[in-house]
Amino acid sequence: MNDKNQLNAPIGSTSPSSTSRERLLTEADRLFSIGWLIHRLMKELRSMMLPTDSVAKHPLFFYSLSDDAERWFVWHMLHGHQASLPRTRELLSVLEEGDNLRNEVMDERRRMIQAFVRYTASKRWDMLQDDDRSWREYARMVYKTLAKDLKTEQVFFDTVGCIAMLTEVLCGRAHQYFFNPNDEDRLKLKAFMGGGKVPDFLASGSPTVGLKGLLSGEWLRVVRRSPQFDEDWCDMFVNALLASEHGEAIAREWKLKSQKMMSFVIGSLKAAGVFGDKSNLSIAKEILTPYYGDVAMELKKKSSTFANYMGHAKEAFFYQWVVDYVSEFD
């Protein structure tokens, strides 16, 4: 992270105003807390690759990166973010523990920001806000500045990723990246960077992450009865279910029977009318095909098990709660 090339490979102007530099340093906790941006870019990436640009077509996606500013930005920002995880973990392992750790992390981030401000693109970093318009505008600007120099673009995005990750550490959010292997967006990010594959949401150790991941797939658009049951509605449903009197019991059961619990949730939603007249097996196949579609026997086995559990959803202790909840929206 102390690579001298980061200090010697700027593009364009190498002397941004002292006001801009000082602001990035003094307001670093706010300006480089970009969890919201990573979430938006992950959502954009999923929309660009799934389902039509799935694993079989992902080479076309990579090819298109060179001439599309927004795709280029999405990919390189997420790549830099992922690459910063092992680098930050390594840095934390070598820094002195105890009272000096925070100061050493702050010093390292300050050095990284001093490298960052040497790039023209850093001057407008503070234009980024929690909306899609600002990052798209910033993407087009950065693309014009960096896209013609492969080495420099990599250093730029790696630097941003490291600064952002050190900021997460300083703001007390390190556990979200280094001690929780089931973070939904990070799992999907790691899988995409590995070649366009989608992670198996059935491996989730968290009911919130698992259920929201399950209900965010393209399959939902295909099988749902009404447009009102979209991803936002599903997020609201999961939050309400886990905040209900059944939340603690779901969390306990989840540790032992996550796949069964997922099937029960989908079965309960189907019984409540969310998925119209689709059969249990057809819904199960829609859900699981992106994961097992290239392994026919595995898809058949998993779909059959999932559908069977769906058919026994009335056995779930939260079944009536789900039915009652959905009825409030009809």
Summarised one tens digit per residue, pLDDT across range 263-303 is 999 999 999 999 888 899 989 888 877 666 555 666 677 78
Please, is 19 exposed, middle or buried when counting C-beta atoms within 10 Å of its C-beta (0-12, 13-18, 19+)? exposed
Do residues 141 and 33 make contact, with C-beta atoms less than 8 angstroms apart? no
Q: Is 209's pLDDT higher than 80?
A: no
Q: What's the pLDDT band for 160 if we cut at 50, 70, 90?
A: very high
Mean of the pLDDT values across residues 202-225?
Answer: 75
Instruction: Give the pair of three-digit tokens for residue 8.
Output: 């010697």
Percent of the chain with pLDDT over 90: 17
**Locus of tokens 């001057």:** 123
Greater confidence (131 vs 202) lies with 131
Do residues 155 and 148 make contact, with C-beta atoms less than 8 angstroms apart? no
Which letter does DSSP use for residue 18 in this model?
Answer: H
CA distances from 2 to 32, 112, 115 (A): 19, 8, 10
Q: Which amino acid is at 250?
A: I
Question: What pLDDT score was predicted for residue 273?
Answer: 92
Contacts 24+ apart (CB under 8 A), 85-88: 85/165, 85/177, 85/178, 85/186, 87/1, 87/162, 87/165, 88/162, 88/165, 88/166, 88/169, 88/177
Phi, psi dihedral angles at 280 (to 5 degrees): -60, -40
Cα–Cα distance for residue pair 27/44, rounded to 1 Å: 27
Question: What pLDDT score was predicted for residue 62?
Answer: 63
On whether the pTM is more than 0.75, the answer is no
The CA-based dihedral angle spanning residues 321, 322, 328, 330, taken in that order and rounded to the nearest 10 degrees: -150
Contacts of 98 (CB under 8 A, 6+ apart): none
Q: What's the pLDDT band for 176 if we cut at 50, 70, 90?
A: low
> Dihedral sign, CA of 112, 113, 116, 118?
negative
Cα–Cα distance for residue pair 128/34, rounded to 1 Å: 9
